[in-house]
A and B are shown apart, each in its own frame.
Chain A
């Protein structure tokens, strides 16, 4: 597998706080990578730097480099970046009554010139992408009236129309129930394209990602397979909780479980929050 992305010595400092510190890793074509870590670890910030959102790499607070196909990402235009990376964000609500088709057409934008109209080929592409996510019948439905899981799938389909190279997802399973969490991640896992996503749920990350990056306080603590990354020693250090690793009998995936020890201090906090 060839190297697609190269992130080296990436640091981001805002005032005296280090948001990212000396991050180094490569992404090979076709990998499905999950970025895990506690709140505020720098997961979303890392995604922003990788895609050079708002030309963030040009800011003086950011040092290091991100290379796409051996060329600095800062040398690509915003349009070229959009042709390589497709983002699926956490929040996508609109007050206007957009149809699924309207949302899908947005994905064509990075491949279109000014004044251009939709061709038959565009329509075929949109239908194909919707078919891949199992929503081919929803073309004329209202986007706002879809369930959270269906909206997420439409956005993934939009990403497929936009760029077939790298799919970036920020917490794709947020606000979804267990069924849709698995449905969305399984879909992402089977697309056969490069995927980089932040995931909160460690067991879902383990099940659907080949490789995990564990971040804590802006540092890359560990980079490897789920089995290598999700070790009790590392996780209890990062999350501040005792942890156990096991192999799930049904899926064969590495799974972890945490518990909060009942020391006096912890116990009182815990019972208070339960009372609420």
Chain B
């Protein structure tokens, strides 16, 4: 336990340092003395003040909570389904959000700042309801994942159908949105994501033993007094709310939920409490730095963040496959 506590303390320090360091990156030229004076509220340069407080800090904070949320959603799904490859994407949550965003873009182009996140959220919830309904009918866990994949493809094809016949301008917007970006986030987004995140973390910590009990099978968990169906439904709902909120503001950011818990299992442990805290911290560090790469690696443009996470994620998985092949 001592070793784990040390790792957590180091990670917390790294989260804080990463967030502070990330604020120094950006196209506007602000030196560190100016940065510090703006942070403590004695800023001389009004433009620097606005850039730091209204652009960079909200963005870094959203990256922090979005990284936490996506990693936690993956971790929860993996432990409750006993499948290390479970991910919000596999449950159709992101494709549902994509469909919602598409419909909003095509039909309500006037008021997108409110309509787009709302429609994405509703689309994500819609897909989860379908997946859960199918799983309820089938009553098999392996098939819950397959149902998610099927629903994901189904909603994806509807989205593509609409885009294909849609107005090119709206289509472009949706495609860029699906690639993921933190360029347009505001402080208000941070508060919304952070509140959902807090509810999710508190709930998971409350039932962490119940989730652990699932790791040796449903029958074993039921014999320990766990209402398996109810617990799984609750956790699926939490993951859906978390992912839907994040996707609604930030678009599609893949692989975080798959990759981060994998690292945490190797580094810290597999039981829920360790996995959740570890995933939150490493997920935050990861997304803060990926966003720094997204906004500072090209001179006059940003790279959509989802492109970077997917590229890193796929390389990461090939590496894992290569390494496990070497072991066995």
A80 to B225, CA, bound (A): 8
- A259 interface hit (Cβ, 8 Å): no
A-to-B contact residues, CB < 8 Å: 51, 53-54, 77-83, 85-87, 89, 91-98, 102-103, 105-110, 112, 114-116, 162
Query: Is there an interface contact between A78 and B226, defined as CB atoms closer than 8 Å?
Result: yes
- B213 interface hit (Cβ, 8 Å): yes
Give the contacts of B244-269 with A (CB-CB under 8 A). 265, 269
Q: A102-B270, A114-B206, A115-B205 are in contact. Are A95 and B224 (CB under 8 A)?
A: no
**Binding-face segment, B63-71, B184-192, B215-223, B286-294:** B215-223
Query: Is there an interface contact between A95 and B84, defined as CB atoms closer than 8 Å?
Result: yes
**Nearest B residue (CB) for A118:** B1
With a CB–CB cut-off of 8 A, which chain A residues contact B127? none
Query: Is there an interface contact between B206 and A115, defined as CB atoms closer than 8 Å?
Result: yes
With a CB–CB cut-off of 8 A, which chain B residues contact A89? 217, 219-220, 223
Distance (Å) between the CB of A78 and the closest chain B CB? 4
Q: A89-B219, A92-B217, A98-B216 are in contact. Are A106 and B207 (CB under 8 A)?
A: no
A2 to B210, CA, bound (A): 33
Instruction: Report how many A-B pairs have Cβ atoms within 8 Å.
Output: 84
Q: A97-B265, A102-B271, A105-B212 are in contact. Are A162 and B224 (CB under 8 A)?
A: yes
Interface size on B, residues (CB 8 A): 25
A79 to B227, CA, bound (A): 9
With a CB–CB cut-off of 8 A, which chain B residues contact A105? 209, 212, 271
Distance (Å) between the CB of B235 and the closest chain A CB? 14
Q: A92-B220, A106-B212 are in contact. Are A78 and B227 (CB under 8 A)?
A: yes
- For this complex, 8 residue pairs linking A to B, each with C-beta atoms less than 8 Å apart, are A51-B223, A53-B222, A85-B223, A87-B219, A96-B82, A96-B215, A105-B212, A109-B209
Q: A95-B84, A106-B209 are in contact. Are A79 and B225 (CB under 8 A)?
A: yes
With a CB–CB cut-off of 8 A, which chain B residues contact A106? 209, 212-213, 215-216, 220, 224
**Nearest A residue (CB) for B208:** A115
What 6 pairs across the A-B complex have the smallest Cβ distances? Answer: A82-B225, A87-B223, A79-B225, A114-B206, A96-B270, A78-B225
Give the contacts of B36-69 with A (CB-CB under 8 A). none
A89 to B217, CA, bound (A): 10
With a CB–CB cut-off of 8 A, which chain B residues contact A94? 82, 215-217
